[in-house]
Chain A
Amino acid sequence: MIPARITKRDPLRAVILILLFGAAFVGAPVANHYWLEILTEIGILLIFVVGIDFLVGYTGLITLGHAGFMGVGAYSLVWIAHIQGIPVSIAMPLAILAGAVVAVIVGMLVTRVSGVFFIMVTLAMSMLFYSWAFKARRPFGGDDGLSVAGTIRLDLSSIGIDLDDQLTFCLFVLVIALLIYLLFEWLVRTPFGQTLGAIRQNENRVRALGCPVGVYKVAAFTVAGAVAALAGALHVQSTEFLHPNVSYWIKSGEGLIIVIVGGMGTLVGPVIGTFLFVLFHKGVESLTTHWQFWMGLTFIVIVIFAPDGIYGRLRTLAGSRKRKRKLHQPLDEEADVRADA
């Protein structure tokens, strides 16, 4: 008998997604300035983070330099739109394209190594960008940054959308974040995504089956790089201020932590992680200046008690409830398997 599906359904993720995005979309219209800023930040960070999960959790490429591509997106957009004066509607796709092109080149270099070396090389690459941006006084203002107010927001007035309105911009970012999430959710369920997952689990086997593994690693790196450039382009539109910190390694590290804490290789886990990270950050920041200390402590606790991340823990809890209901069936799978062999 041929099973109906090769992979199992995971209805829990749809529930969580609807709850989180539902809360954001419902909350935004009644939110004040402060909360709109938070929601916008969540949306942008989310785009960045699901890209990292695609690389780390699905393809097995643990990057500590992904913020470099946010930098490429932000600086490209500012250069093309603010400095060259080209409309943002053209500059934005070009900024994303720049992220993709840089990711192809960097990807071809960094995928030659693996493991710890991959982590270090991606870190080094992003810091190369950061140190260039830090010194680039002209035209980007170097470490003083550059105010780009009034020239950097996408103009959608032709279709009746005013992105200078804070609520509209926030909703715009959230919609893009949702679309990017769905894009990755789709990608990982296709043969392409399945191949990446197989590469993570056993690269040699995939190669022995006839797959040019390196090409697929670069492809994954490129998709994630382009998406991070999009996040960077949105970030600079949101803050209307360009600063090298957008590409700083701590950004990459935060992204990685969110992915790990949320649940690597689940996409929805990092979405949970993003909401918690930003809300926790803002909440603790208002109480104490040592917010990073408390954040770190919380993450250590989470990693100890939920080694598969928050979503992994949720799934185990939901799964164990289901198993308890099935417990009356005296089925010892392993014994069966042994008898067969």
Chain B
Amino acid sequence: MSAPMLEVAGLRKAFGSLIVTDGVDLSLAAGERAAVIGPNGAGKTTFFNLLSGELKADAGTIKLDGQAVTALSPDRRARAGLARSFQKNNLFADMTVLESLATAILVADRRMRVFWRSFGRDKALSGRAVDVAELVGLADDLETTVKHLSYGTQRQLEIGLALVGRPKVLLLDEPTSGMSPEETGAMKALIAGLPAELTILLVEHDMDVVFDLAHSITVLDYGQVVAVGTPNEIRQSAVVREIYLGTDAA
């Protein structure tokens, strides 16, 4: 078996005396679709922020494709191939969809310092932006200003912006939060349709989404990993049922 694409070992984070991430291990193979679940306050978001670099871990290591990224800032992790979406839409509200994607692509391409060429007339750039828009189902909204998009469509753009850097690993923070059932279905189809070589880690509340998309599931509770397994194993795990699904669920 090849080396893991994302490998987390002994990750730990405390806020004062409160330990929110307590020795978490996680290993994802290339192209794997994995999910982290857990009840409210289990430390999912903290774990996510430790991975993306918004928070610095107290101890432990994070390796991306064999390279240690534990000490890197969020922007350097992004450049190393670790992209993230945000739980709340985090977009360029006053740009059009096309402009947003083109801007994201130029940043991902490290062409920010180019001050001698036109941005607006860059055909190659707009061509690539259109490709990404098609990938996330936004081809018909190119000229729409982002703040005028519906919530679900904004979530699609959110994923699109995370994809522009052709990342190795995509971290999705509750991609279906706040969505209607139809929007959730569309988002599920969108994630399932992403390139097979892309490694994806979901942090998600919606059980249907997790069980449909993930090959493996890691369950967190009080900052610790309490179970790891396939969706079936997790569904049948007594521990998980008790802490997460509730004792009545079966």
B184 to chain A minimum Cβ distance, whole angstroms, is 11
B246: min CB distance to chain A, Å: 32
Name 26 interchain pairs, CB-CB below 8 A, sorted by A.
A6-B120, A6-B125, A7-B99, A190-B115, A192-B112, A192-B114, A193-B119, A195-B103, A195-B106, A197-B103, A201-B92, A201-B95, A204-B90, A205-B161, A206-B107, A209-B104, A209-B107, A209-B165, A210-B110, A216-B112, A336-B140, A337-B148, A337-B150, A338-B150, A341-B156, A341-B183
A193, B141: Cβ atoms closer than 8 Å: no
Give A187 Cβ to nearest chain B Cβ, in Å: 6
Instruction: Report chain A residues within 8 Å CB of B118.
Output: 189-190
Tell me the minimal C-beta distance from B176 to chain A in angstroms: 12
In the bound complex, what is the Cα–Cα distance between A2 and B122 (angstroms)? 11
Q: Which of A6-22 contact B (CB under 8 A)?
A: 6-7
Contact B126 A6 (CB under 8 A): yes
A49 to chain B, nearest CB (A): 21
| Interface mask (A210-238 → B, CB under 8 Å = 1, otherwise 0) | 11110010010000000000000000000
Report chain A residues within 8 Å CB of B140: 336, 340
> How many contacts A-B (CB < 8 Å)?
143
Contact-residue bracket for chain B: 35 or more
B84-101, CB < 8 A from A:
84, 86, 90-95, 98-99
Q: A202-B92, A209-B78, A211-B112 are in contact. Are A2 and B104 (CB under 8 A)?
A: no
Which B positions have Cβ atoms within 8 angstroms of A? Answer: 52, 73-76, 78-79, 83-84, 86, 90-95, 98-99, 102-104, 106-108, 110-123, 125-127, 129-130, 137, 140-144, 148-153, 156, 161-162, 164-165, 182-183, 186
Tell me, in angstroms, the Cα distance from A213 to B76 when the chains sit together.
11
Interface residues of A (CB under 8 A from B): 1-7, 186-187, 189-195, 197-198, 201-202, 204-213, 216, 219, 333-334, 336-338, 340-341
**Contacting pair A201 B108 (CB below 8 A):** no
Contact of B74 among A186, A195, A208 (CB under 8 A): A208
Cβ-closest chain B residue relative to A265 = B94
The CA of A3 and the CA of B73, in the complex, are separated in Å by 35
- List, in ascending order, chain A residues with CB within 8 A of B125's CB: 6
Chain B residues closer than 8 Å to A336, beta-carbon distance:
140
B150 touches A210 (CB 8 A): no
A198 and B91 contact, CB distance less than 8 A: no
Contact of B117 among A4, A191, A198 (CB under 8 A): A191
Most chain-A CB neighbours within 10 Å: which of B102, B106, B144? B106
- Per the bound structure, the CA–CA distance linking A334 and B147 in Å amounts to 11
Query: Which residues from chain B contact A7 at a C-beta distance below 8 Å?
Result: 99, 119-120
Q: How far is the CA of A312 from the CA of B95 in the complex (A)?
A: 16
With CB as the reference atom, state the residue of chain A lying closest to B151. Answer: A341
Contacts of B153 in A (CB 8 A): 337, 340-341
Residues of B near A202 (CB, < 8 A) are 90-93
**Structural contact, A191 and B104, CB atoms closer than 8 A:** no
- CB closest chain-A residue, reference B125: A6
What distance in Å separates the Cβ of A184 from its nearest Cβ neighbour in chain B? 11
B140's nearest neighbour on chain A, judged by CB, is A340
**Nearest chain B CB to A104 CB, angstrom units:** 15
Chain B's closest residue to A335 (CB) is B150
Q: What chain B residues lie within 8 Å of A197 (beta carbons)?
A: 103
Asked if B143 and A205 make an inter-chain contact with CB atoms under 8 angstroms apart, the answer reads no
Name, among A190, A208, A219, A334, the residue most crowded by chain B CB atoms within 10 Å (CB to CB).
Answer: A208
